[in-house]
Homo-oligomer: A and B are copies of this chain.
Amino acid sequence: MNRICELLGIRLPIVQGGMVWCSGWRLASAVSEAGGLGLLGAGSMHPETLKEHIEKCQAATTKPFGVNVPLLYPQIDELMKLIVDSGVKIVFTSAGNPKTWTSFLKEHGITVVHVVSSAKFAAKCEAAGVDAVVAEGFEAGGHNGREETTTLCLIPSVRKATSLPLIAAGGIGTGAGILAAMQLGAEGVQIGTRFAFSQESSASEAFKDLCAGLQEGDTMLSLKKLSPTRLIKNAFFQAVDEAENRGASADELRKLLGRGRAKKGMFEGDLENGELEIGQIASLFDHIQPVADIMRELEDGYRAALTRCRSGELDW
């Protein structure tokens, strides 16, 4: 039995990453219905919006789903109370200290998974009593670790640092990629990018079309003096890049970033002035697909990859 499937009550150890402006109830419930774990991305929702999405998700699926909460969320107390009151059973926390909320959530019977980008923080998660960790590498879209450790290097390192169930994230989008991660010590994967431009994603169609057309090298880790974020290289990215190259301060970058840029880009479809978060693996996929097709391709691809390992083709 796979520990991630057991812990989360799912058939396939595939978690859809909680993503700002992409992962509302449509996406999360579709992934859960297909046998994975859907996550609502609370980071881009006001508490009342999250409440609505939780209720719609509960109506759309009887299968387990969860909520991703960036711990820097401004009204975090209100949000956590709402999550408990709404009967959510699984919470993925990120961007903060797992000590702060884990015991509160667990006292309310909620399974807690925390996202890390280093083995050191994975060990801290274990001490904080979380149930599992997501280890996310440099190639992932959006917010990212400061050490820039890639998934290929991070997974075996986190595997050595903790005995917790381990979910790999960053750069994974195919069945072969899932098997690669499992081989390196993961017991499940979190996939964001491929779902960000699925049919059920709540992102704007313009953003999804852009993602489906990306080539290798079209994203870059940016905003390193604020919070490192992987972005598509659009006009906003170029402005940040130019500022960073001439040594702009964090304050200057904060002003340049302003407020609401991710919404402007990903939700409203302003492809030049918006902040467009997506992972490197986007370049491997060239069209918008329904979640059911993605999940079937992942499952079939995983089985095909295992079969290839068994066939003798990789022996030497």
Q: Which residues of A are in contact with B by a Cβ distance under 8 Å?
A: 2, 5, 11-13, 118-120, 137-139, 146-154, 156-157, 160, 170-172, 174, 176-177, 179-185, 216-217, 220-221, 225, 245-248, 280-281, 283-284, 305-306, 308-310, 314-316
Contact = CB atoms under 8 A, between A and B. Distances in A.
Contacts of A314: 179, 182-183, 306
B216 A118 contact: yes
Given A283-B157, A309-B306, A139 B147 contact: no
Contacts of A247: 245-248
A149 B2 contact: no
23 contacts: A2-B316, A119-B216, A138-B150, A147-B216, A147-B220, A150-B152, A150-B280, A151-B152, A152-B171, A152-B281, A153-B216, A156-B284, A157-B216, A176-B183, A179-B183, A179-B309, A180-B180, A180-B181, A183-B314, A245-B247, A247-B248, A309-B310, A310-B310
Residue of A139, A217, A247, A316 with highest tally of chain B CB at under 10 A: A316
B180 A281 contact: no
Contacts of A153: 139, 171, 216, 280-281, 283-284
A280 B149 CA distance: 7
Contacts of A284: 153, 156-157, 160
Contacts of A184: 176-177, 180
A185 B177 CA distance: 10
Nearest to A307: B309
